[in-house]
Structure 1
Amino acid sequence: MTLQELVLRTASVYMDRTAVCFDEGNNQPPVCYSYKALLSAASELSHFLIAHCDFGGIREIGLYCQPGINLPSWILGILQVPAAYAPIDPDSPPSLSTYFMKKCDLKYVLVEKQQLSKFKSSHETVLNYDTVSVEHKDLALFRLHWEDGRVSTVLGDRADQHKVTDREDRVSAESRTPEKEHMDMRHDGCLAYVLHTSGTTGTPKIVRVPHACILPNIQHFRSLFDITQEDILFLASPLTFDPSVVEIFVSLSSGACLLIVPTSVKVLPSKLADILFSRHRVTVLQATPTLLRRFGSELIKSTVLSAHTSLRVLALGGEAFPSLTILKSWRGKGNRTQIFNIYGITEVSSWATFYRIPEEILNSAVKHESPVQLGSPLLGTVIEVRDQNGSPVLEGTGQVFLGC
């Protein structure tokens, strides 16, 4: 089973339902696609890519774009080739984007036409690419030609600013040639997407994720959050942050609606709250605590977590979970939103654990100062606590090891 097969199977039942809405936050009606329109656009892109791409080896296609109505169909179109999509954020430092494309040895990049000038100006000094000659609707296809060593030191200064641990060195080394050779032996269509880690503790690592590794997340969250075709999910995460995969495919594999807004709107708390909870009545929100805090305690209590909010599920992850004291202060009287702490790392395909905060704790007047627990492993995830010698710890403290 693949991500696109999950969507195809669901879409066959909900062809006329709304699959995606894009609201620019400018008081204009949102642009919406039905599941039928979504699949049609995806198939057109797939046929275009098959006609113009000569892969050989691993099939990976870069996607350089901003969030918009076409984003899900572009991702599905790449997956149906079949190929893996490699998101590239136009707002990222050009040196990081170039490093990512080079390390992935990308041969093709789809560039949103509105971002063409930015793509060219950001990468003209380190990229050797064909003149744009092949276009498809709102996209342009670039074929890249890398010169050996051209960007080998592009992140040198940045990496020197951080102390890279021995463990990170080993992971980085293992993710170079050996990983590439291993993946080349896998069957076509194995990979779903390719991302890079943030690089906050050293040189970013490239993470290639097969469908089989991310599907358990999708399936478990669909069940855990009881997602139905009546739900509206918000694409809160940037495409380069792997929780976006969960947001997109939990929605599209359930017959639900995926709401997308421009990146610029996400930093405008009042406007974002109005779009999410007044205009569209979002029911499921997966977000970082930072995004939630942007609303401010008053708006959270009066709108996001009010008694009459549309929000059924709030899943917070990617950062330290707020203290229970703060969380309880954010909830309006009578709020019934289910709140989850979710934890994971990119290397194990997004989320690894979940913990639903019990209602009795949320409604209790007793102060809870202890940190919120990580909870239970998600489907397909293995968690162990080990001591410094690598031996399992059944009681006491140790280091958490995650696997899948």
Structure 2
Amino acid sequence: MKIISELNATEGLPNDLAIQTLFALINWDVRDGVFPEGFVNDAFEAFSLLIERLCTNLKVWEQVHPVELPLKTGKVRKSVNKTEKDLPDKMLHEGFYNCLQNCPDEIALIAAEGTFSYKKLGSYVAGIQNELCKSGFRKGDFVAISADKGMWQIAAVLAVLFSGGVYLPFDVSQPIARQNKILEKSGTKYLITNKKYQSLEWKEHIVVLAAEDINRTEQALTIVEIPLENPAYIIHTSGTTGDPKGVVISHKAAVNTIEDINSRFDINSADRMFGLANLAFDLSVYDIFGAFNAGAALVLPDPEKQKDPYYWVETIKKNEITVWNSVPAQMQMLVSVIVFIPM
């Protein structure tokens, strides 16, 4: 069978297939000016190739996805998606440790409590690590973190990872009953929180540590080696039934994402990252460790103003933030405000 293809620009969108004795005439009428340039030609090429394959190969009729991309489009996609490369064998928090060794006096964190160098922040991390060890913590244990945005929240996350543990981030605005349900379901024994939340009715037999009561120490941080396939954190979603469901992410998987994004957007030590995402939301993982793996500075919003887009603009200008990472809705809010308050 011989295929004769025709593509015309008209006002209609019919698709006609007229079969003659030894010929198949394929004709598309396409409304001009509606589709992006090249789109219709690619679609028509794919359709024509499909007809030819259906006529020459019976197995095509059994394929679940028989339509193939046009050769030119396929080459472009293959080239763009060719992102395989060797990843560094490191744990999620090793970027912070490297900065602690190589650039200790560079700014690591800007938060409501003040500005912290890698060395200064590391002293708070070491203090929490010591307190966890005194409380009976062992490598691989789960530690929940229910704290406001700020230095103590970041120090707690790092301390858990440096100790070889797994952190479970909580949203402090969630009901205590839900947080307790996650503690019970996950078998978590330890909780780091702010002093103002320490007296809440936490689940029994949980070791509750008030971050502000922990003394910082100049003692060197101890980094506990664990397999890269081990979990780094567990984020709980509401689930379709409303029952919290944990999503377990390994060090290797998280580092893969961070290395890819930092490479694609050339994130480096000159950057400043705006950590807007809630700790219980997975975007926060990149905010924290994307910054520390690049030797950049993480800027956290004041927890009392973190939902105010006018405050976002002020913070971006004041701290010369270069990296914004958020859901589209928050970006839309930011853009709407910028229209009235030029950057």
The TM-score normalised by the length of structure 1 is: 0.55
Q: Per the alignment, do residues 227 and 214 of structure 1 end up closer, same or farther by CA in structure 2, a change over 3 Å counting?
A: same
Provide the residue aligned with 1:168 in structure 2. none
Answer yes or no: is 1:281 the counterpart of 2:320.
yes
Counterpart-to-counterpart distance in 1, 2:187 and 2:228: 17
Provide the residue aligned with 2:276 in structure 1. 236
Equivalent pairs counted in the alignment come to: 244
Counterpart-to-counterpart distance in 1, 2:263 and 2:340: 29
Provide the residue aligned with 2:72 in structure 1. none
Provide the residue aligned with 2:117 in structure 1. 34
Contact 2:228 2:252 in 1 (8 A): no
Counterpart-to-counterpart distance in 2, 1:130 and 1:13: 37
Q: Per the alignment, do residues 103 and 232 of structure 1 end up closer, same or farther by CA in structure 2, a change over 3 Å counting?
A: same
Provide the residue aligned with 1:12 in structure 2. 101
Q: Percent identity?
A: 25
Q: Per the alignment, do residues 250 and 237 of structure 1 end up closer, same or farther by CA in structure 2, a change over 3 Å counting?
A: same
Match of 2:197 among 115, 123, 130: 115
Provide the residue aligned with 1:181 in structure 2. none
Provide the residue aligned with 1:3 in structure 2. 92
Match of 1:212 among 228, 252, 267: 252
Cα distance, 1:44 vs. partner?
Answer: 2.0
Answer yes or no: is 1:60 the counterpart of 2:136.
no
Contact 1:46 1:77 in 2 (8 A): yes
Provide the residue aligned with 2:338 in structure 1. 300
Deviations for 1:154-194, whole angstroms, at most 9, x for unmatched residues? xxxxxxxxxxxxxxxxxxxxxxxxxxxxxxxx969922111
Query: Which runs of 4 or more aligned residues in structure 1 lie more than 6 Å from their structure 2 counterparts after TM superposition?
Result: none
Kindly provide the amino acid, as one letter, of the partner of residue 15 in structure 1: P
SS at match of 1:106: coil
Structure 2 residues not aligned, in runs of 5+:
1-89, 216-225
Provide the residue aligned with 2:21 in structure 1. none
Provide the residue aligned with 1:129 in structure 2. 205
Counterpart-to-counterpart distance in 2, 1:196 and 1:265: 25
Deviations for 1:53-88, whole angstroms, at most 9, x for unmatched residues? 2448x4111111110122222211111111011112
Counterpart-to-counterpart distance in 2, 1:190 and 1:47: 22
RMSD: 2.6
Counterpart-to-counterpart distance in 1, 2:287 and 2:210: 29
Contact 2:131 2:214 in 1 (8 A): no
Cα distance, 1:295 vs. partner?
Answer: 3.3
Cα distance, 1:139 vs. partner?
Answer: 5.4
Counterpart-to-counterpart distance in 1, 2:289 and 2:207: 34
Q: Per the alignment, do residues 14 and 302 of structure 1 end up closer, same or farther by CA in structure 2, a change over 3 Å counting?
A: farther
The TM-score normalised by the length of structure 2 is: 0.65
Cα distance, 1:206 vs. partner?
Answer: 1.0
SS at match of 1:109: strand
Provide the residue aligned with 2:188 in structure 1. 106
Kindly provide the amino acid, as one letter, of the partner of residue 92 in structure 1: Q
Counterpart-to-counterpart distance in 1, 2:182 and 2:159: 22
Deviations for 1:227-280, whole angstroms, at most 9, x for unmatched residues? 11111100011000011011100101111110011333122222221112x211
Q: Per the alignment, do residues 290 and 198 of structure 1 end up closer, same or farther by CA in structure 2, a change over 3 Å counting?
A: farther
Counterpart-to-counterpart distance in 1, 2:322 and 2:310: 18
Structure 1 residues not aligned, in runs of 5+:
24-29, 141-185, 310-404
Cα distance, 1:111 vs. partner?
Answer: 2.0
Kindly provide the amino acid, as one letter, of the partner of residue 60 in structure 1: F
Deviations for 1:90-125, whole angstroms, at most 9, x for unmatched residues? 2112232122111111111112112223x33xx4xx
Counterpart-to-counterpart distance in 2, 1:188 and 1:12: 21
Pairing 1:219-258 to 2, within 5 Å after superposition: 219-258=259-298
Pairing 1:185-196 to 2, within 5 Å after superposition: 190-196=230-236
Cα distance, 1:300 vs. partner?
Answer: 3.1
Answer yes or no: is 1:266 the counterpart of 2:306.
yes
Counterpart-to-counterpart distance in 1, 2:270 and 2:240: 39
Whose Rg is larger? 2
Cα distance, 1:199 vs. partner?
Answer: 2.7
